[in-house]
Structure 1
Amino acid sequence: MTTDRVMPPLQADERATLEGWLDFYRATLVARCEGLTDEQLRSAAVPPSPLTLLGLLQHAAEVERNWFCRVLLGEEVPPIYAVTGEPTGQDGGFDLADDATFASARATWEDEVARSRTAAAGRRLDETSPFLGAQVTLRWVYGHMTAEYARHAGHADLLRERIDGTTGA
């Protein structure tokens, strides 16, 4: 399955623009993983960094869960990926279990993205949720998530180029 990256709308309201950019970078991260074997997706960036494409995708699922379920909805949900010695929850997902595969990581990520979309669908951009003793808006969460994905898409670009020479726009 190939991921379609849709250009964010050039003339839209604020919500459509924010959602468009977030979806664009979500698709970018997954696209950088497509066409590689599970072994290639487990390839670390540059020693001593243990960063991998598969770890980035798992981390993206954790981040979706953290911001849209834990923060936005206030749900107490467990981490998806818990590997001994790794921080869990919002910062987790980077370490790989022996049986981790792209297919399973992608399915989990897709489920979390669907949950995120559902969580945000009925909320106004200026609606707030408790966060670190203050309040955070859905607008802020969208901005933060777009930055999170853009940053990791850049990491993914470098990883992918190192693995097979593929570069992308």
Structure 2
Amino acid sequence: MAETQRKPVPRDDGGELDTATAFLTFARECVLKKTDGLTEEQLRRVLVGSGTSLLGLVHHLTGAERVWFGHHVAGGEDTGDLGMDVPEGLTAEDVLAGYRAAIGESDAAIRAAGDPERPVAVAIDGTFHTLRWVLAHMTSETARHAGHADILREQIDGVTGR
């Protein structure tokens, strides 16, 4: 099957923070691309035994952005819902807009921190890891879920690619 959503990996190599944020951005865009052109029903459709849906993945990643960057890096309140179940009152448009907003907030927190060596504002299990650690964690988390989204999208309508 030909890949219909293929996007090249970033070529950014201007420094550690530039490279790290380029790959995080790439993973986020891959997740969002999997939702393009689908209906509300398709986005909510559960196709695996775990109960995961494309919209549930986006909802989860929204919470993760808020916990890791908004809370741990920036020191804000922990407002992240890490669940995969989308509350009934939220439309697909609400969830996708929320993810885009959380990404913008996270990017602002990353820019404000500025230095990969900078320790987080709120300890993680008692340890003040660095921004570098959070970027690596969130890139791997987002990329892992982008892979899940690839499979779900292919099951929905046959669209493939990163």
Structure 1 residue 159, shift from structure 2 partner: 0.3
* Equivalent in the alignment of 1:83: none
Unmatched segments (≥5 aa) in structure 1: 80-88
TM-score normalised according to structure 2 size: 0.88
Aligned with residue 131 of structure 2, among 134, 138, 150? 138
The total of aligned residue pairs comes to 155
- Comparing 48-57 with 22-31, greater Cα deviation is found at 48-57
Aligned with residue 37 of structure 1, among 39, 42, 45? 39
* Equivalent in the alignment of 2:157: 164
Letter in 2 for 1:159: L
Residues 31-110 of structure 1: pairs in structure 2 closer than 5 A: 31-46=33-48, 48-79=49-80, 89=81, 91-92=82-83, 94-110=84-100
Q: RMSD between aligned alpha carbons?
A: 1.9
**Percent identity of the aligned residues?**
38
**Partners of 1:49 and 1:75 in 2: how far apart?**
31
Unmatched segments (≥5 aa) in structure 2: none
Structure ranking higher in strand proportion: 1
Letter in 2 for 1:150: A
Larger RCO (CA under 8 A, 6+ residues apart):
2
**Partners of 1:77 and 1:139 in 2: how far apart?**
20
4+ long deviations beyond 6 Å: none
Is the Cα contact below 8 Å between 1:9 and 1:16 reproduced in 2?
Answer: no
